[in-house]
Structure 1
Amino acid sequence: MNLYRELWSRIGGRPWTYILRDLWHKYEGLCILALVAGGAFLGHWLWHSVLWYLLNFTFGYIAGHLFWEKDYIPDQKGD
């Protein structure tokens, strides 16, 4: 049993990675603004915490791997 497959097939109908990629390509400017605003907000309130650096790195790592060496296919369906 694949829990992730069960979740995305019921919520969204296709892998969430594909949904995020579609959002990025359709609303790139808004996504960038949201990421910068979120980073500025967290940076202002959590600047003293090591957790901030780990959280920042983790989100960057995940976001980078959503698009690494993948061709963009609009509205791509799951396997």
Structure 2
Amino acid sequence: KLKWYVSQQPPTDVERLNKLDVVADFAKVAAADPNFIHLKTFNLPPQEKMLVITTKGIVRLGEAIAAVYLNNK
């Protein structure tokens, strides 16, 4: 079976979106499907713009995904 490695950055701080618990929703999906790997990557470098990950953030995200992948082989 194909495994899905889904990373999640910290939710944005937008009033209308703060009503949603996206982290919990993703956790529920991951708990129900053993092929859905939920990576909470909340320790990425700060973003200069909302929803725009910097180069350093992309590198750290890749390292996090690789580490989880290698630990789940």
TM-score computed with the length of structure 2 as normaliser: 0.34
TM-score computed with the length of structure 1 as normaliser: 0.32
Q: Which has the larger strand fraction? A: 2
Structure with more contact order per residue of length (Cα contacts < 8 Å, sep ≥ 6): 1
Q: Which has the larger helix fraction? A: 1
Q: Larger radius of gyration, structure 1 or 2?
A: 1
